[in-house]
Amino acid sequence: MSESAHDFRQAAAAGLANQPMRAAILRTTSRKIEARAIALQQLGRADELRQLASRIKQHTLDHLDQYLVQFIDRAEASGATLHFAATADDARRIVGQIAATRAARVCVKAKSMTTEEIHLNESLIAAGVRVVETDLGEFIVQLDNDRPSHIVTPIIHKDRKTIARIIARELGVEYTEDAEQLVAHARTYLREVFRTCDLGISGVNFAIAETGGICLCTNEGNGRLTSTRPRVHVAVMGVEKLIPRVADLLVFLKLLARSSTGQHMTVYTTLIHGPKQPADADGPKELHIVLLDAGRSSILAGEHRSVLRCIRCGACLNACPVYRQIGGHAYGGVYPGPIGKLLGPLLSENERFAELPRASSLCGLCREVCPVDIDIPGRLVALRREQVERHARGWQQCGAFRLAGWMLRAAWSYRLMQRAARLLLGSRGWSTDAPPPLHGVAKHRDIRTPAQKPFRQVWNEVLQDE
Amino acid sequence: MNSARAEFLERIRNATSSMPPAMREPLPPIDDMIVRRLQAPIRTPHESEGPSAEGLRNAAALEAPVHGTDLVQIFCRRAADAGMTPSVVKRADLGAHVATILRNAGARQVICEPQLADSPWNLPKSAGDSFAWLDPNAGDDSLYAADAGMTAVHAAVAESGSIVCTSGAGLWRSLSLIPPLHIAIVEEYQIRADLVDLFQTPPADAPPAQLVIISGPSKTADIDGILITGLHGPRAVHVCIVTD
């Protein structure tokens, strides 16, 4: 394992030890799972809708070059300026350049996991731009110099007292634990920032190839303010956000909020086509759309293409028994939860997230709730297989499996293995510990020790009795 | 600049071509029956606005087929569920109704687009003199001083209980966004059945720079899961449906 590898076990243990966080996460995710189930039931033909959504996304990915060309053409026709970022570094440079040439001093950000992924804030701040996160959760994360732990509700790991302390400390207001007052303080502060900002940065939930439009889905209104108040609006989008037609957008609008929080729709669904038009009373004078590759074309080219269907609803996080116990920080990257176990290793250039594909019991709940039917367990197994083939698993593991493979080739070697196992483990039913080399395995899984007699012996005895 | 674009597209093209065309997912047709949750009502020929007549279909999974007035009821129920405050009012009473809303909210300064005065609603005049009517063209100070913003809408959607506002000539996005109270005036015929009906007929002109589907007051539940309204956008949205 490389030096910079994320130590998942340690991080998970830390998460497990954090009782208040676990309680908060369990509470919130339980509520959302329940709400999701009710909301989808109300849809009537939810499963068919999900299948449709899955096929739309897969089709788009299978023809992404076409749709990208169409989107670029239409978006430019509507007055947007398109930029092309092959890497995260390119994207940072492009946005930095826009900020510099437009003399932007105050930048407001609507919540965008993509901009977190490319570490955009840091580079803008380094260039002397004041960057303010405006989504309440992200705002508190920023004030506290923390990291988000959920792709939809970033401070699911913080309880009210913690938030109250942060607000009092950073905004210089009197300490209060009243949620209404806390929100009011944030509103006052952020309202002033929105009044004076000159650059707005957002992500994109969906980009429509047919019309060149981009769609932002928020609950708080900061997405609208970010794309209305400042004179320059920059939207950073991974290429996988594309969908073919406006009619397809409706399929996703029906599913996104319902899968995410159980709402029918996010409070604000904003569909943007270019900057303000000459006769419009308000709106940004410039719209820049930064198309981001940053590893997505590699995923597109391989067997993991379906992972790019993800619409970032967070349903898999809410359902995952692992995430719900350890929280988002344990995953060590920008994307936590089941989808993070795929995106982490696939989008990174090194083995930093090598542990993540194994951080799963493969229970399959994530797949059951995914609105675009990504076979997350299947993809995790595929990643594990790739790791073994790359010898990225360590010689003990590879050696052990190779040995087992050899042992299973013939009846005599199989029986030898059985005898050895009986000697090593005894025949005591389920066991919670085992001698080396199975000691490490037994720490995380109960071991079923071999039966007193192998089945073929029992079978032969039964036949003899008859 | 140009080479960045060309290289970018080339990389995507190479990536997609790794899969043979025969194996690629075809474009799925959008089955209206799967996406719809609410049937569009049958419209008589002289009604020009709203979705095209589709006819009744056998749809056990969908809500019962609706007729004109049902849409108003469904809209009101769904909008209320979403946290908005819908009301139905006769055209002649609209002014007094708006005045009541403003008075109950303690709103004194109201901002609305000047062209609203030319509308059949006779607003803001019909609401009376006890309010100060601000002009958004006067600048940011007016916008931020207003206690309430009053707008017309582009459309409304019964299925999700949403209103739809667009940018356009002389239209302000900020009026439904910056003041803490938003009053939206909706004509009954503007209520579409389902989200699907919103975009059904592609507009002849280019789409507006911004179209926003509003489904409630501004909400956050980031603090301990407690639902609080009015963080960035309005904390209350009153939807007044005007009938004859």
Residue of A182, A219, A270 with shortest CB distance to B219: A219
Question: What pLDDT is attached to residue B50?
Answer: 36
**Chain A residue with minimum CA distance to B231:** A187
CA distance A444 to chain B (A): 32
Q: Each residue of A49-99: pLDDT tens digit?
A: 999 999 999 999 999 999 999 999 999 999 999 999 999 999 999 999 999
Residue of A27, A186, A253 with shortest CB distance to B231: A186
> Three-state secondary structure along chain A?
CCCCCCCHHHHHHHHHHCHHHHHHHHHHHHHHHHHHHHHHHHHCCHHHHHHHHHHHHHHHHHCHHHHHHHHHHHHHHCCCEEEEECCHHHHHHHHHHHHHHCCCCEEEECCCHHHHHCCHHHHHHHCCCEEEECCHHHHHHHHCCCCCCCCCCCCCCCCHHHHHHHHHHHHCCCCCCCHHHHHHHHHHHHHHHHHHCCEEEECCCEEECCCCEEEEEECCCHHHHHCCCCCEEEEEEEHHHEECCHHHHHHHHHHHHHHHCCCCCCCEEEEECCCCCCCECCCCCEEEEEEECCCHHHHHHCCCHHHHHCCCCCHHHHHCCCHHHHCCHHHCCCCCHHHHHHHHHHHCCCCCCCCHHHCCCCCCHHHHHCCCCCCHHHHHHHHHHHHHHCCCCCHHHHHHHHHHHHHCCCHHHHHHHHHHHHHHHCCCCEECCCCCCCHHHHHHCCEECCCCCCHHHHHHHHHHHC
Looking only at Cα atoms, what is the longest distance across chain A? 96
Interface test with A, best of B160, B224, B229, B239 (most A CBs within 10 A): B224
Cβ <8 Å between A65 and B31 = no
Please tell me the distance from the alpha carbon of residue A28 to that of residue B73, in angstroms, as a whole number: 32
Cβ <8 Å between A136 and B177 = no
The model carries a pTM of 0.91
CA distance A331 to chain B (A): 21
Cβ <8 Å between B222 and A56 = no
**Chain B residue with minimum CA distance to A134:** B232
Please tell me the distance from the alpha carbon of residue B68 to that of residue A207, in angstroms, as a whole number: 34
**Chain A residue with minimum CA distance to B168:** A280
CA distance A9 to chain B (A): 27
Residues in A touching B221 (Cβ below 8 Å): 153, 261
10-residue mean pLDDT series, chain A (466 residues): 73 92 92 95 92 97 97 97 98 98 96 95 96 95 91 86 93 94 94 96 97 96 95 98 95 96 94 96 97 97 96 96 94 93 92 90 96 97 89 74 88 89 84 79 82 90 88
Cβ <8 Å between A183 and B231 = yes
Cβ <8 Å between A221 and B233 = yes
Please tell me the distance from the alpha carbon of residue B148 to that of residue B30, in angstroms, as a whole number: 40
Cβ <8 Å between A300 and B12 = yes
Q: What percentage of chain B has pLDDT greater than the value 70?
A: 86
What ipTM, to 2 d.p.? Answer: 0.90
